[in-house]
């Protein structure tokens, strides 16, 4: 974990509605723990997707025009980060690096 990321604090971390839905999907498929997802939902501000619908559409159109395929849920998550000028924290930076102007960090570097 990078030293700079240790001081971010829960108040400065957010969860998208899309990410929350994906986490609950994992629970219902038997690949996650509901108490953990509930903890995240209760302790992190959950950001709505609707303010980022235009950015989603623009980003998806750009990706398609350039022959880049990403799942819609990932484009939604990226669109929210782009709109709010947030850094997207992911353990799959290569995946999201195909989206222009998206700031990405991996806090689980091995």
pLDDT tens digits for range 13-31: 999 999 999 999 999 999 9
- Where does the pLDDT of residue 3 fall: very low under 50, low under 70, confident under 90, or very high at 90 and above? very low
pLDDT band at 9 (very low <50, low <70, confident <90, very high): confident
- Tell whether 90 and 62 lie within a shared domain: yes
Model pTM? 0.85
Question: Does residue 1 lie within any of the structural domains?
Answer: no
Alpha helices in 44-105 (DSSP H): 53-65, 72-84, 93-96
Going from the C-alpha of 99 to that of each of 5, 52, 53, 64, 73, the distances in angstroms are: 22, 15, 16, 11, 13
Question: Are both 56 and 107 inside the same structural domain?
Answer: yes
The pLDDT-based confidence of 10 (bands split at 50, 70, 90) is confident
Residue-wise pLDDT tens digits, 81-103: 999 999 999 988 988 999 999 99
Q: Which domain holds residue 42?
A: 9-47
């Amino acid at each position: 974990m990078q030293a700079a990321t240790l001081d971010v604090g829960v108040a400065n971390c957010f969860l998208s509605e899309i990410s929350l839905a994906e986490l609950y999907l994992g629970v219902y498929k038997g690949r996650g723990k509901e108490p953990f997802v509930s903890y995240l939902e209760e302790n992190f501000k959950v950001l709505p997707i609707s303010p980022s619908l235009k950015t989603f559409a623009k980003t998806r159109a750009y990706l398609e025009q350039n022959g880049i395929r990403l799942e819609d849920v990932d484009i939604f998550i990226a669109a929210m980060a782009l709109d709010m000028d947030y850094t997207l924290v992911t353990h799959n930076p290569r995946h999201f690096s195909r989206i222009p102007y998206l700031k990405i960090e991996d806090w689980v570097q091995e």
